[in-house]
Amino acid sequence: DAKTTQPNSMESNEEEPVHLPCNHSTISGTDYIHWYRQLPSQGPEYVIHGLTSNVNNRMASLAIAEDRKSSTLILHRATLRDAAVYYCILRRNTGANSKLTFGKGITLSVRP
Amino acid sequence: KAGVTQTPRYLIKTRGQQVTLSCSPISGHRSVSWYQQTPGQGLQFLFEYFSETQRNKGNFPGRFSGRQFSNSRSEMNVSTLELGDSALYLCASSLLGQGATAPLHFGNGTRLTVT
C-alpha cells in the first residue's frame, strides 16, 4: 500500500475549525483515502473516506486535492472529545479487505 | 447493534508462555483482521480472515497465528512469548463485498503484558 505523511501533532481551540493535513504523493488511481481516529484507551474509529470528490458526514468533511496527492480532514467545530490521534490511510481495491498500513498519525490536542 | 468484542481486556503472561486472544465481530461481518499496536511501531497488521481462511498476513514471525470459526469469531495465538510481544492487540471486523470502501470496526483491544 502507498504511504501517507502527516505532521506529528496539532493544537486547536475548542469550538474552532480544525484542518488536519495528509500527504500521499504516491497514491494510485484505485486508492481510497480513509481517516480513522483513536481516542485514549479505545480502538481506532472510522471517520470518513473518499476517492476523488470532497465528502461530508456527521463527523467531519474530507477535502481531496485535485491531483489526489494530498487531503485534509476538517472538523468544523472542535470539541474536547475530538482530542485523539487521527490516522490517514490508503486502501486499494484488491478484492479482499486488505491489510491497512497505519502511520503514526496526528495527535490533536484541543484547548478549552 | 453490539460492537466488536475482544476478550480478555487485560492479560499478564511470563516469557515462554503462550496466549490466546478472542474476537467476536459485529453481527453480519465476515471479515476479521488483527493488529498489534506498540508505542514504537504504531499499528501493524497481523492477519486477516474471512470464510475461515487466512487471506492476508503481515510481517510477523510464525509464533503469531490465528483462526476463524464458522460463526466468524476469531482467535489469535502467540506462542513462546517474548518481552517485545507486550502490546495492545486490536481486532477489526468489516463487511465483505465492499472492497476498499468498507469501514473497519475496531474493538477496544486486549492489553498484553509479558514479564
For residue A18, what pLDDT is reported?
A: 97
Residues in Cβ contact with B91 at an 8 Å cutoff, skipping those fewer than 6 apart: B4, B6, B21, B23, B25, B32, B33, B34, B35, B74, B76, B106, B107, B109
Residue carrying C-alpha cell 482530542? A83
> What is the count of residue pairs from A and B with beta carbons less than 8 Å apart?
70
String of DSSP letters for B53-110: EEEEE-S--TTEEEEE-TTS-EEEEE-S--GGG-EEEEEEEE-SS-GGGPPPEE---E
Q: Give the span between the Cα atoms of A81 and A49, in whole angstroms.
A: 21
pLDDT in tens, B15-65: 999 999 999 999 999 999 999 999 888 889 999 998 999 988 888 999 999
- Residues of B with a Cβ under 8 Å from any A Cβ are 4, 31, 33, 35, 42-45, 48, 50, 55-56, 58, 90, 92, 94, 96, 98-109
For residue B2, what pLDDT is reported?
A: 78
User: Looking at the complex, does the CB of residue A7 fall below 8 Å from at least one CB of chain B?
Assistant: no
Longest CA–CA span in chain B (Å) reads 42
HSE value, Cβ hemisphere, 13 Å, CA-based, for A72? 10
pLDDT in tens, A72-109: 999 999 999 999 999 999 988 665 555 677 778 999 99
| Residues B74 and B49: beta-carbon distance below 8 Å | yes
Residues in Cβ contact with A77 at an 8 Å cutoff, skipping those fewer than 6 apart: A15, A16, A17
Lowest-pLDDT choice from A53-57, A62-66, A96-100, B100-104: A96-100
Question: Which of A17 and A95 is assigned the larger pLDDT?
Answer: A17
For residue A45, what pLDDT is reported?
A: 96
DSSP 8-state secondary structure symbol assigned to residue B40: T
Residue B42: left (phi > 0), alpha (psi -120 to 50), or beta? left
- 3-class secondary structure, B10: strand
Nearest to A96 among B4, B43, B48 (CB): B48
User: Looking at the complex, does the CB of residue A32 fall below 8 Å from at least one CB of chain B?
Assistant: yes
CB contact under 8 A, A97 and B50: yes
pLDDT in tens, A24-42: 998 988 889 999 999 988 9
CA B88, distance to chain mean position in Å, is 10
For residue B1, what pLDDT is reported?
A: 65
Task: Check pLDDT > 80 for residue A59.
Answer: yes
User: Looking at the complex, does the CB of residue A39 fall below 8 Å from at least one CB of chain B?
Assistant: no
Contacts of B106 in chain A (CB under 8 A): 43-45
